[in-house]
Amino acid sequence: MKSNNHIAADLTVDLCCPPADRWHLTPAQRQQARELLALYTADLGLPPDFGQFLAAGARDLVRADHWQEMESLSRLLDLPLLDVVRFRSSSTATITR
């Protein structure tokens, strides 16, 4: 994928890999992703504990492979899982194989 946006320029998401191993981000991409999540969270105007509310119900509703991928992103971005769940639960984008 060619782009002027560095987060997309070298972004690799290998859907053939197990969920925990799909994402490969450079340090700059990790920082950009953290900033994007912070901006998105602020724009939603949700209460700080809303991620806990979502996570409580989401764990039972989200497929295991999607949950593993969110856990992996949480570790990769060094963010609480609740931040990733909040973003994913609010996002309308879906990637399919």
As a whole number, mean pLDDT of residues 18-27 equals 89
Q: Give dist(CA 53, CA 56) in Å, integer.
A: 5
Q: Give dist(CA 83, CA 44) in Å, integer.
A: 12
Please give the residue that has the higher pLDDT: either 48 or 40: 40
Query: Cα Rg for the chain, rounded, in angstroms?
Result: 14
Positive or negative, the CA dihedral 78, 80, 81, 82 is negative
Please give the residue that has the higher pLDDT: either 88 or 22: 22
What angle, 0 to 180 degrees and rounded to 10, lies between the N-to-C axes of helices 64-77 and 81-90? Answer: 120
Q: Where are the domains of the chain?
A: 6-90
pTM above 0.75, yes or no: no
